[in-house]
Amino acid sequence: MKKIIALTLLSGFVVTTSCVSNKKYAELESQYNDTRSALAKTQVEKEEIEAKYAKIEERVANYNAKIQSLTNSNNSKLQQFENVVLSNDDKEKMKAALKNVDQDELAQARTLEDSMNLIVSYNLKKNLDSSLVAEGEEDEISIDIDETVVMITISDKLLFKSGSYRVNPDANSLLERLANVINSEPALEVMVEGHTDAQTVKKGSYIKDNWDLSVERSTAVIRVLQDDYGVAPEKLIAAGRSSFHPLTENETKEGRATNRRTRIVILPNLDKFLALLSAN
């Protein structure tokens, strides 16, 4: 009897213990599922927040791009002053460049074109020093600066043999130095003028007349500057003046020698100057 009672009690304990374990397991499983669900929900919310943040960043970037575009557009907005079109950026660059020029000369500038001429002239004079005229050439070369136009006069004795338009090789050093000056300042145009004396060309000569000779000499110098020393051809202008712009009378040998000359006229190109400002 005692054995039966003991077995009954043991069976009841096992059943009771089993019921408690199943209940606890079910409870833990429910908590686990809830946690997984909460985690999944949190992950979804995180992804949604990240997507919203990315859109906000994109909108901010677009706004910044629009602001920059409007700023650039405003800075480059063209304005017309005295028939010269300038942007705000160009005006600021001009102000910076004008700080370098002679302030007394700047005070006399009356127009915007005067101011631009001063800048180009300053840049040119920086490179047009005594090194252009080598020792022994002092009597053959003269340099005159009239406001912003530079005129370099070279005697034919240095450049050509009598009656010829072939450039004397002895002049190559001078023309190279001249090309360096021209190449140093992009906003320039260079006119090469040929001048002759009043003596007529001999009949039967391969040169037709003094017009022909003056132009041939001008283009001969231009070809050397372009082909040998890299001066851009679009900066060069050929001109022949024949004998009609003498410096002195043609009655003496000395006078005729003075009138036979090549003049290099260096001219500021304001359109190119403005283009250079905009490109910087």
| Whether the Cβ atoms of residue 182 and residue 190 lie closer than 8 Å to each other | yes
Residue ranges in the chain modelled with pLDDT below 50: 2-3, 5-7, 9-10, 13-16, 74-82
Give the per-residue pLDDT at 226.
Answer: 96
| Whether the Cβ atoms of residue 119 and residue 273 lie closer than 8 Å to each other | yes
Q: Report which residue type is found at 223.
A: R
- Calpha distance 181→170 (Å, rounded): 19
Distance set, CA 139 to CA 125, 153, 154, 219 (Å): 21, 11, 9, 24
- Calpha distance 60→56 (Å, rounded): 6
Q: Which two tokens stand for residue 87?
A: 């942007």
Give the per-residue pLDDT at 129.
Answer: 58
Give the angle subtended at the CA of 155 by the CAs of 150 and 161, to the nearest 5°. Answer: 140
- Calpha distance 211→194 (Å, rounded): 9
Cβ neighbours of residue 239 closer than 8 Å, sequence gap 6 or more: 191, 192, 193, 194, 215, 218
Query: What's the distance, CA 112 to chain centroid?
Result: 21
Give burial (CB, 10 Å; 0-12/13-18/19+) of 227.
exposed
- Calpha distance 176→229 (Å, rounded): 6
Give the per-residue pLDDT at 191.
Answer: 94
Q: Which residue has the tokens 């034919």?
A: 156
Q: Which two tokens stand for residue 55?
A: 């859109």
Q: Which two tokens stand for residue 254?
A: 């000395």
- The two beta strands, 236-240 and 188-195, are parallel
Q: What are phi and psi of 200, to 5 degrees?
A: -80, 155
